[in-house]
Amino acid sequence: MKIRLLVVAFLAMIGCAGGQNMCTALPGEEESRGQPVVFGQEVPVPALRLRFLDETSGKPISPRVVMAHYYWQWIMYPATEHAWGAWADAEDRVRCEPAGQTEISVPAFTVRPRGWYNGKYTEVPWSKKPRFDRLELVIEFERWAPRLIIKESELRRYKDAIAVLKLPRAGRVKVVFERFPQK
């Protein structure tokens, strides 16, 4: 019951509770690792308005599921073959089920990088706090799932725009931006 209340509060915080896109935050790393002990700089990710097109036909297409993976890295110690620890990926996830829609909005999200080791190897030979790494969108269909990787420096392009994703059966997703008219 306690976990359910935390999930509901988290959904309300990121704006996923209900809505036409049916976006749901999924349990995070704390479920298996316990409470984090070190934190990095928070990174605000803007709401992502996404429109889906089949790259071959140019026609609108509706995915079965869109998974947003908000990855950050933290120093894990001990780490095999890495005497001073190694960078490890961790993530927050949001699942959106478009339900036949060809355009969705993934709510704004604040990535809070965190880690489960805070010892001498997070400071020696330099400070290594957890850090945001990337946002990865996985657009799932019945038999294919193209991916789009968005680095922190690219996030500003998604603010106040519709990202038109041209989805191939294989290869990289192509993105074209449509800007909202300025008021």
Exposed, middle or buried: residue 41 (CB in 10 Å: 0-12, 13-18, 19+)?
Answer: exposed
Tens of pLDDT, residues 126-148: 889 999 999 999 999 999 999 99
Q: What is the pTM of this model?
A: 0.84
Given a cut of 60, whether residue 42 has pLDDT beyond it is: yes
d(CA 124, CA 84): 8
Q: Does the pLDDT at position 121 exceed 50?
A: yes
CA atoms within a 13 Å half-sphere pointing along the CA-CB vector of 147:
7
CA atoms within 13 A on the CB side of 50: 32
Q: Is 125 within 8 Å of 137 (Cβ atoms)?
A: no
